[in-house]
Amino acid sequence: MISVEKLIAAGITPAVARTFCPHLDIAMERFQINTPIRVAMFIGQCAHESLGFTHLEENLYYTTADRLIRTFSRIKNLEEAMSLIRKPHDLANRVYSGRGGNGDEASGDGWKYRGRGLIQITFLGMYAKASKGIGIDYIEEPDLVSRPADACLTAAWYFKEFGCNELADNSDIEGITKKINPAMLGLADRRWRTSQAIDAFVRKP
> For residue 53, which of 19, 87, 28 has the smallest C-alpha distance?
19
Domain positions in the chain are 4-56+148-201, 65-112
91 has pLDDT over 90: yes
Give the whole-angstrom CA distance, residue 63 versus residue 7.
33
User: pTM for the full model?
Assistant: 0.94
Other Cβ atoms less than 10 A from the Cβ of 166: the count is 12
Give the whole-angstrom CA distance, residue 171 versus residue 22.
25
Give the whole-angstrom CA distance, residue 99 versus residue 96.
6
Q: Which amino acid is at 131?
A: S
What's the pLDDT score for residue 65?
A: 95
Give the whole-angstrom CA distance, residue 38 versus residue 98.
35
Over residues 186-196, the pLDDT tens digits come to 999 999 999 99
Helices (runs of H) and strands (runs of E) counted in the chain? 12, 0
Exposure on the CB side of residue 67, measured as CA atoms within 13 A:
8
Over residues 139-174, the pLDDT tens digits come to 999 999 999 999 999 999 999 999 999 999 999 999
Residue 131, classed as helix, strand or coil, is helix
